[in-house]
Amino acid sequence: MSYVMSDFDDFNNPQVAALPRHLRQYIVPQQYSRYTAVDQAVWRYVMRQNYSYLKDFAYYPYIPGLRKAGLTIERIPDLQEMNNALGRIGWGAVTVDGFIPPVAFMEYQAYKVLVIAADIRQLHHIEYTPAPDIIHESAGHAPIIAEPDYHAYLSYFGQIGAKAMFSAQDFELYEAIRRLSILKEMPDANGDAIIAAEEQVAWCQANMGQPSEMALLSRLHWWSVEYGLIGTLENPKIYGAGLLSSIGESATCMKPEIKKLWYNIDTINYTYDITREQPQLFVTPSFQNLIDVLDEYANTMSFRVGGIYGLEKAVNSMNVCTAVYSSGLQVSGVFTGFTAGNNDQPLFIKTTGPTALAVDNTQLDGHGKNYHKDGFSSPVGKITGYDKPLENFTAEELQTAGLILHHTTVLKFEAGIVVQGRVENILSQNSQIQLITFTQCTVTNAKGQLLFDPSWGNYDMAVGEKIVSVFCGTADKDAFENVTYKSTIETYHAAYDDATLNLQSVYQEVRNIRGNQSGYDALTGLWQQLQTKFTDDWLCSLEILELLHQENMNQELQKSISGFLANKAAKQLALSKLIQDGLALIAHPIEQD
């Protein structure tokens, strides 16, 4: 399978330009012209409310943070402007279609690129949406990126997450969550379909089995990057993007009934539900503590532990994984078996199906998945009679061991495995031997059972005393062309009817009046259109009232609009807080830093 590489725009940003091909497959154009005037009004309302509240409760100065990320309160950000700003602090940004798999999301962080959902929440989800959107990603994540300790943590998390073991159950849960988030953002979604999707998410969560490394890392990510608090239990500040981008939960999270717990390694035991407000939140005293906790967990992960522990994780995952020999040789494929030794290290490893060999994450010439299409197997450990690992042999020691080009030799491993054949090539890099190729080769185990027959072709024997690391995915992802899982479910994009287009036109005229600071007399006619054709709408009425109040004009019209909004807030409880908060900002306009 080939990657789609056409029309890739790096925004003249070094971090975006450095993205490998397997990550570029998720990028979609922002298509800024697709944002309607209603979308712009939703952005502006949320951002004004955010600043009004978060200036007192966010960890960092909100407006300066927005500016450093290329954002403003007044309009949805343009990706080029964001990249211009983020590039100054060593980051970049790209737009994607909704949720992407956690492993890909983490790897973007490792490359210091923010992943931003191109879509924006609809008006009826203005307080919170379970789907990722441009408000959550840009207004939540981006403003704090300029904080050096935080962006160091974010990048470090990505590096570790990119190596985490994941399972088939992880993919099932991801797909179920993506489907539910898309359904909930659809204005005409079938209620039964939503219930069925919620039940599927619940079923997946209840049937995960033993949580994978990725599942546990996702919990640490959720309780820090998305829903984290910093400071003290008694007086925490918000830094998590999920809270920063939710005008509802950013306020309710500070209530005493929401438990505040210290962020430590025990946090990994707390699951989460993306569709509901969180019953507890975790407070870190510093960003360095986040790194310390992450390191504590990472020390238990297979990419650091290696050996039998890591290979068991690889076999159980049934995904393409990479085992790293102590020589630096990286074997990437689906691991289907290994022979265990007595010292937490395997004696022999085996993959089935396409396998590739690499060093320093670069595929070795002639050792791609097409060459090793049926799998790969090799001993692990020292050869008998030598204290020194084979990978560290000098040229003289190789000759003493009988490893001479174009000569037949017999290697006996301490584990009892015997390799007998003609030496055709000895490959070494970084002053270590990684691979010895034999022809006419026979390999047997300690019981005399045949592991490789000369009729099967050349035998490429990996060299290394130990398996020092095992991680999910391939060493050289682009050469292997192992396409990271990508959902086939696309996000919903509405087709607007004439009535909706007319309402968008009213919003646009109000927006033009604000931007031009002229044409205020037209507000009376626009309000009348709302009253005759769009009585369900409330946000445009707020925007008209704001302009009238700001210009201190047409008191009678202000009174009529205020009465209309007060009546709607009283009759529609779901809108009550939104309207009251909007009126409060009209009476007490925000002053930007």
Summarised one tens digit per residue, pLDDT across range 281-321 is 999 999 999 999 999 999 999 999 999 999 999 998 888 99
Summarised one tens digit per residue, pLDDT across range 28-74 is 999 999 999 999 999 999 989 888 877 778 887 777 888 888 888 99
Summarised one tens digit per residue, pLDDT across range 252-290 is 888 889 999 999 999 999 988 776 788 999 999 999 999
Q: What is the CATH number of domain 309-480?
A: 2.30.30.100
**Pairing of β 408-412 and β 432-444:** unpaired
Residues 584, 564: Cα–Cα separation, whole Å: 16
Whether 481 has a binding-site annotation, put simply, is: no
DSSP output for 192-256: HHHHHHHHHHHHHHHT--SPPHHHHHHHHHIIIIITEEEE-SSSEEE--HHHHT-TTHHHHTTST
Residues 323, 310: Cα–Cα separation, whole Å: 8
Collect all residues with Cβ–Cβ distance below 8 Å to 429 and sequence separation of at least 6: 328, 359, 360
pLDDT of residue 490: 66
Using DSSP's 3-state secondary structure scheme, residue 102 falls into helix
The ranges assigned to domains in the chain are 14-166+212-221, 309-480, 498-587
- Reported CATH class of domain 14-166+212-221: mainly alpha
The mean-pLDDT minimum among 46-55, 74-83, 512-521 falls in: 46-55
Query: What's the whole-model pTM score?
Result: 0.84
What's the token pair of residue 288?
């360095």
Residues 200, 489: Cα–Cα separation, whole Å: 15
Arithmetic mean of pLDDT, 487-508 = 82
The number of residues in the chain equals 593
Whether 391 has a binding-site annotation, put simply, is: no
Helix boundaries (H) for 232-328: 241-244, 249-252, 287-298, 302-305, 307-317
Summarised one tens digit per residue, pLDDT across range 385-440 is 999 999 999 999 999 999 999 999 999 999 999 999 999 999 999 999 999 999 99
- Within this chain, domains 14-166+212-221 and 309-480 share the same CATH topology: no
pLDDT band at 183; cut points 50, 70, 90: confident
Cα-based angle 18, 22, 26 (whole degrees, multiple of 5): 95
Q: Is 343 exposed, middle or buried (0-12, 13-18, 19+ CB in 10 A)?
A: exposed
Collect all residues with Cβ–Cβ distance below 8 Å to 383 and sequence separation of at least 6: 390, 401, 411, 412, 413, 414
Whether 551 has a binding-site annotation, put simply, is: no
3-state secondary structure 128-172: CCCCCCHHHHHHHHHHHCCCHHHHHHHHHHHHHHCCCCCCHHHHH
What are the angstrom distances between the C-alpha of 53 and each of 42, 47, 307, 395, 451? 17, 10, 51, 70, 67
